[in-house]
Amino acid sequence: MRNYLYLLLVLLLGGGSSLAQTAVTTAGGQTFHLGDSLMIGLPHTPGKRYRTIHPSSWEYREIPAFTKGKLKWHIPTPKRNIFGNLIPQDTVYFLNHPKFPKDSLIVYLGEAVQKGEIVTAPVEHTPLYPEAVELLPEDYVPALIKAGYTTYTDVAIKAYAQSLGNSGSSHTTVNNPFEYQRQRAILLEKLKKAVEKFDLNQVYYARHQLTTDGYDFTRSGYPWAELYGPAVPFLSTPGDDRVSLYLATQQRVPFISVPAERAESYEKRSGTLGHKVHTLYARVYFRLLPVESYTEDGSRVFRTNINYLGLDLYEYPHCAYYHLGSGKAE
């Protein structure tokens, strides 16, 4: 019964008459019909739940990305204005999904399209550096040691321990000096193996929020808005005992070529048509450069030299699809 409590509530508020409608709707410039098969994308924020899609029972269930559900019906959800009158606010749609045969997925279609949680365009693209691998938080300390920026200090060992996940266990180990001493040899051995495995010749990438100026029709693309943020990310391990990598380079990607029709589809979908500033996301590609000399000073922030190679620009933080364009560093 509780699978239908939300539906019943909306019906009581006056949305029942629209169940029989088969009208189309347009969200972000995309036209939909009831009965369309829609592809579910990734959550807008990596590592989080979907913002715009959930089972109608409101119980947490893992929704499989890059699978399809059929758009079945919709219910306008009203709200009250300052005078207490019911007015239309949004429309709730339902997806029939083969993984949930006894339930339906509620989807706020307009917002889902805007945030990329419903995919309406092809997701295939060729990255600028297909061989690149992501530099993850658990790689930061091994990278620093391999490149000669620090060594096997307690600062490094504790930061590495907290970067491995299992935050409750690692927090207890690091913050209890007795437990840390008991575990130190094991953690040190893990760190040494990670350093041995780390490859300085590999091309790495890190995800980065990048701000651009408005679309340049003369050059066909987006210029980097230097005053709004750095060209490369500032990386830190998680936890209270974090260490950070300040990626240092004089290289930049001052301009990203993007075809006008591709830029227009992005700006329509995101509701930023014609804006002078755009918040986008990039895979920033680089190689780590070894340090010339090492001096241990107890620092937790390391100026880490990189050979900045270029970037791929995307609409969303996961940088997995909705690719806009690429640029080589100069």
Pair (180, 89) in one structural domain? no
Among 56, 89, 119, residue at a domain's last position: 119
Q: What is the CA radius of gyration of the chain?
A: 24
Residues 299 and 220 in one domain: yes
Is it the case that residue 101 has pLDDT exceeding 60?
Answer: yes
Q: How many domains does the chain divide into? A: 2
How high does pLDDT run on average in the chain? 86
pLDDT tier at 102, thresholds 50, 70, 90: confident
- Look at residue 4 in the predicted model and tell me its pLDDT: 43
282 and 199, same structural domain? yes
Place of tokens 């079945």: 72
Report yes or no on 126 lying in a domain: no
* 3 three-class SS: helix
Average pLDDT over residues 75-93: 60
pLDDT band with cut points at 50, 70 and 90 for residue 150: very high
pLDDT of residue 70: 92
> Is residue 291 included in any domain, yes or no?
yes
127: in domain? no
Residues 169 and 310 in one domain: yes
Give 54 or 200, the one with higher predicted confidence.
200
Q: What is the domain range of residue 145?
A: 133-328
Do residues 277 and 223 touch, judged by C-beta distance below 8 A?
Answer: no
User: Does one domain contain both 150 and 82?
Assistant: no
Lowest-pLDDT range, 10-24, 134-148, 245-259, 264-278?
A: 10-24
- The verdict on 201 and 285 lying in the same domain is yes
pLDDT attached to residue 171: 66
Same domain, 48 and 148: no
Mean pLDDT of 34-60: 89
Task: Using the predicted structure, report yes or no on whether residue 12 has a pLDDT greater than 90.
Answer: no
Q: Are residues 70 and 191 in the same domain?
A: no
Residue 141 has pLDDT above 90, yes or no: yes
Q: Please report which residue ranges of the chain form alpha helices under DSSP H.
A: 5-10, 109-114, 137-146, 154-163, 167-175, 177-197, 260-270
- DSSP conformation class of 158: H
In tens, the pLDDT along 259-271 reads 999 999 999 999 9
Burial classification of residue 314, based on how many CB atoms lie within 10 Å of its CB (0-12 exposed, 13-18 middle, 19 or more buried): buried
Q: Are 141 and 73 contained in the same domain?
A: no
pLDDT value at position 89? 54
Whether residue 147 is found in the same domain as residue 110: no
Residue 16 has what pLDDT?
A: 40
86 and 187 together in one domain: no
What pTM was estimated for this model as a whole? 0.85
In a domain, 128, yes or no: no
